[in-house]
Amino acid sequence: MLAELAGWLGAAQEPGRQIFEQNCSVCHGADANGGAEGPSLIRSALVRHDEKGNLIAPVIRNGREGKGMPSFSLSEQQIADVVMFLHAQVEASDNTSARLPSKDYALKLLLTGNAAAGKKYFFGRGGCSHCHSPTGDLAHIAKKYAPVDLQGRFLYPSGAAKTATVSLASGKTASGTLVYLDAFTVAIRKSNGWYHSWPRASVKVEIYDPLAAHRALLHQYTQADIHNLFAYLETLQ
Amino acid sequence: MACLFFAAALCAVAQGLNPAALLKPPTNTWPTYNGDYSGRRYSTLKQINSSNIGSLAPAWAFQEHAVPLKCTPLEVNGILYLSAPDNVWAVDARTGREIWHFNRPSQGDHLASRGVAMYKDRLYFGTPDAHLICLDARSGKAIWDKQIADVKFGYYLALAPLVVKDKIIIGTSGDSSDVRHFLEALNPETGKIIWRWYTTPAPGTPAARTWPNTQALLHGGGPAWLTGTYDPELNLIYWGTGNPHPVLAGTGRAGANLYTCTIVALNADTGKLVWYYQTSPHDTHDWDSVETPVLFDADFHGKPRKLLAQAARNGYFFLLDRTDGQHLLTAPFVPTDWALRINAKGQPIPNPKMEPQPDGSVVEAGPEGATNWNAPSFDPQTGLFYVNGHVGYSAFYLRLGPNGDPQGHQGGAVTPLVSHAFLEAIDYRTGKIRWKRCEEDVSGHPGILTTAGHLLITADVSGNILALDPATGKTLWHRYAGGPMNSSPMTYVLDGRQYILTAVDRMLYAWALP
């Protein structure tokens, strides 16, 4: 839904972008965030308080005498398109989240490592080949994930559940997927689908974490190891 | 008849809050965000204590049906005042029954409202659209409504205002556009500005040289997310400031970027800067230094000192002399690798290689740093400073536009990798960790209260409300309360009975002895 909305916004601002590039970007910069001559329009109170062109349109039509802003003879539609483009620029600048780079993050930005060194790390120091194979579970892995997701996932793949074996006072044991663990309670889901919980004080709990090796590597990687490993995994098309 | 009139007049005053009463630490009430000016969140109450905590039971619950609570309620003369974005409630502190509810829908960022402030018979409340509202505490009716900053630039008010003598002190929040933030003192009667202090220096001053140019400085950020503290003897207010803007991209703002990520001491009457200490020069990881600057008087190296301690979001514990800002101690309280070294002033200096990079830079830190807005506590009985936070790893990305400028206000992005929660007891004299509790793969924001009853009240991030032995961290009592406690507990005495309050999701629980 968000992607659709972003796509729609992108398409809607396209005519405005072209008009802006032809008429305005020389002074205000291609992204409207300021240029050699003109101020940032993203940081402009007038732009931010504008509603459907009520403040921006008169400035485009009449210019700003004494401030170096000439008037432009654009049609009503062209002005409306520029207004839409400017609001979209403000929106993009303000509301692009700091959490998670977007899926379209450019591969060339990430591809700074050496694939051969990454392969060596995979089969050697990193110990990745103890669990993974480039022709088995990781075959075509680079096709499966967007580059920035691939990097995030090999650093720490989410979603692999821990399992637990719970030893009861009676001597019996119960094993299953770990559902919940805090200082006081442990809960598992057995292979038959049923949920069970116990007070931790009454049982012994052993946890198996399938991602333990990924966690351990986070303490060991250099930045170069990470970029090399990514470059290698990206060859698994 | 005269006697009756006199009694009625006394009553009218007694229901409100005389600001002079705040100058001595309150004992039975909780009249400010942190309970008192020190920010220690240590209560001298001990009716509920380590020997009877086992029988602690629910006294009542209040359900606000709106949004999860992230505030600390006030308690003044039998009435609680609590807030969430757009909402304020007055609640009977004896029974949990609602007295009134104020609601004012607004545009703007609804991330949090940390609480309200009280002055005489009025309350002060900041809004998502950066207005300060003055309410009649008796009725919840608005007396005045004043715009503090422009919501179109993403400004809003998250913190609980601080009353100092005849002033209401506030600061601006915001994390969507590159702006200059400020602290401000207002007249409580009229809302008129008494002073304003910008968190980036005035152009042309020596401190302005920590920015490459005036434009960067005037859009340099430094929001004030949390309430500061106050020393009435020194007449100084202490405030922590937030990160510089753009957030993750330092390319256009070479330099230390004063006074962002800084602990500042301002004269309460004039708003003039008296001293400052920057905990994170040139931050590029969004590691605010807004965490409560906690004030206490204690020995350091055999000498009695007026101290200020902060466990900062960058993972370092700082101890300063609060009279003049003299640096006494810096110690990491989490494992982290973003700093190259600690300089002669005790400041961690960033390692350029660990700054956000276009190809990603993996840093040993949770995505939001070592700790956050949840309140820490200092217990004078143990001499320990307590803080909840996170350790882990995150990948920091730098986003630059085609012309090399930071893209957008964030200028980058963060992929959280692993994050574990902890509660630590830090020895203020050495920075050493005395004890620690950990929880794997979970996160949250419980605050902390310590009491003279040898109790530390908090919650784990799994939703268990906890009473711990503050000396050892041993669990003395726990209850699962149906959701996460992303707020900070408080306590008060009413009719001779001590209550401990914990806000869990949309519920406020009062706990007491049977």
Per-residue H/E/C for B10-79: HHHHHHCECHHHHHCCCCCCECCCCCCCCCCCEECCCCCCCCCHHHCEEEEEEECCCCCCCCCCEEECCE
> Does the pLDDT of residue A1 top 60, yes or no?
no
* Distance in Å, alpha carbon of A78 to nearest chain B alpha carbon: 25
CA distances from B238 to B263, B274, B414, B474 (A): 7, 10, 30, 33
* Interchain pair A96, B410: CB under 8 A: yes
Q: Which of A49, A215, A229 to mutate to test the interface with B (most CBs of B within 10 A)?
A: A215
Which residues of chain B make contact with A97, given a CB cutoff of 8 A?
410, 413
The rounded percent of chain B whose pLDDT value lies above 90 is 93
Residues A190, A119: Cα–Cα separation, whole Å: 38
For residue B3, pLDDT beyond 60: no
The beta-strand segments (E) located in B279-398 are 294-300, 303-311, 316-321, 326-332, 339-342, 348-350, 361-363, 377-379, 384-398
Q: Measured between beta carbons, which residues in chain A are less than 8 angstroms from residue B418?
A: 156, 215, 218
How many angstroms separate the CA atoms of B156 and B158, rounded?
6
CB contacts of A114 in chain B (<8 Å) are none
Burial zone of A178 (CB within 10 Å; 0-12 exposed, 13-18 middle, 19+ buried): buried
Distance CA A14, CA A24 (A): 15
Tell whether the model's pLDDT for residue A2 goes beyond 50: no
**Higher model confidence: residue B13 or residue B276?**
B276
**How large is the average pLDDT for residues A1-12?**
54
Q: Determine the pLDDT at residue B407.
A: 87
Distance CA A228, CA B451 (A): 53
Q: What pLDDT, on the 0 to 100 scale, is given for residue A37?
A: 85
For residue A31, the Cα-to-chain-centroid distance in whole angstroms is 21
Please report residues of A whose CB lies closer than 8 A to that of B397: 101, 105, 148
**A102 touching B, CB under 8 A?**
yes
Chain B residues within an 8 Å CB radius of A6: none
Q: Is B395 helix (H, G, I), strand (E, B) or coil?
A: strand
- Identify whether the C-beta of residue B82 lies closer than 8 Å to the C-beta of residue B503: yes
| pLDDT recorded at residue A102 | 85
Give the other-Cβ count within 10 Å of B2's Cβ: 6
Among candidates A109, A152, A184 on the partner chain, residue whose Cβ is nearest the Cβ of B395: A152
Chain A: closest CA distance from residue B396 (Å): 9
- Of the candidates B414, B137, B2, B256, which has an alpha carbon nearest to the alpha carbon of residue A148? B414
Contact call for B410 and A97, based on CB within 8 A: yes
B96, B501 Cβ separation under 8 angstroms: no
d(CA B475, CA A174): 27
Q: pLDDT of B249-263, one tens digit each?
A: 999 999 999 999 999
* Residue A8's pLDDT band (cuts 50, 70, 90): low
CB contacts < 8 A (A, B): 116
ipTM of this complex prediction, to 2 decimal places: 0.93
B463 contacts on A by Cβ (under 8 Å): 182
DSSP string covering B72-122: --EEETTEEEEEETTEEEEEETTT--EEEEEE----S--S-----EEEBTE
Rounded mean pLDDT, A135-151: 96
Q: Which of B36, B129, B286, B505 is catalytic?
A: B286
- Mean pLDDT confidence for A215-237: 97
Beta partners for residue B135, in sequence order: B123, B142
Query: Per-residue DSSP letters for A157-176?
Result: ------EEEEE-TTS-EEEE
Confidence at residue B492, expressed as pLDDT on a 0 to 100 scale? 98
Q: Measured in whole angstroms, how far is the alpha carbon of residue A189 from the centre of its chain?
A: 32
pLDDT tens string B116-170: 999 999 999 999 999 999 999 999 999 999 999 999 999 999 999 999 999 999 9
Residues B73-90: tens digit of each pLDDT: 999 999 999 999 999 999
Instruction: Name the residue with higher pLDDT: A67 or B298.
Output: B298
Q: What is the pLDDT of residues B373-413, one digit of tens each?
A: 999 999 999 999 999 999 999 999 999 887 788 889 999 99
Average pLDDT of the residues in A149-170: 94
Name which of B150, B153, B418 is nearest A156 (Cβ-Cβ). Answer: B418
Q: How far apart are CA B67 and CA B87, in angstroms?
A: 9
Averaging pLDDT over each range in A2-6, A99-103, B187-191, which range is the top one? Answer: B187-191
Residue B286 falls in the annotated catalytic set? yes
Strand order in the sheet with B490-494: B57-63, B507-512, B497-504, B490-494
Is residue A26 less than 8 Å (CB to CB) from chain B?
A: no
Residues 82-101 of A with CB under 8 A from B: 92-101
Interface contact flag, A99 B413, Cβ < 8 Å: yes
Interface of A with B in 141-170 (CB under 8 A): 148, 151-152, 155-156
| pLDDT recorded at residue A7 | 53
The C-alpha of A170 sits at a distance from chain B's nearest C-alpha, in angstroms, of 26
B179, closest residue in chain A (CA to CA): A43
Q: Using an 8 Å Cβ cutoff, are B103 and B87 in contact?
A: yes
Kindly state whether A3 is in contact with chain B, defined as any CB-CB distance less than 8 angstroms.
no
Give the minimum alpha-carbon distance from A171 to chain B in angstroms, rounded to a whole number. Answer: 27
Most B CBs within 10 Å, among A25, A40, A44, A100, to test the B interface? A100
Mean model confidence pLDDT for chain A: 92
Given a cut of 80, is residue B172 above it in pLDDT? Answer: yes
**Range B33-57 burial, b when 16+ CB lie within 10 A, else e:** bbbbbbbbbbbebebbbbeebeebe
Rounded to whole angstroms, the Cα distance separating A152 from A101 reads 10
Q: What average pLDDT does the segment B189-218 reach? A: 97
Range in A92-96, B50-54, B342-346 with the lowest mean pLDDT: A92-96
Contact B353, B338 (CB under 8 A): no
Nearest C-alpha of chain A: how many angstroms from B164? 33
Q: Could you tell me the pLDDT band of residue B14, with boundaries at 50, 70 and 90?
A: low
CA distance linking residue B487 with residue A128, whole number of Å: 42
pLDDT reported for residue B403: 76
Using left for φ > 0, alpha for ψ between -120 and 50, and beta otherwise, residue A90 falls in alpha
| A12, pLDDT greater than 80 | no
pLDDT of residue B327: 98
Tell me what pLDDT residue B9 has.
39
Indicate the residue of B153, B403, B408 with minimum beta-carbon distance to A92.
Answer: B408
Contact A183 B418 (CB under 8 A): no
Proportion of chain A above pLDDT 90, given as a percent: 84
Residues of B in contact with A184 (CB under 8 A): 464, 478
Q: Output DSSP code: residue A11.
A: H
Least CB–CB distance from A93: residue in B177, B393, B464: B177
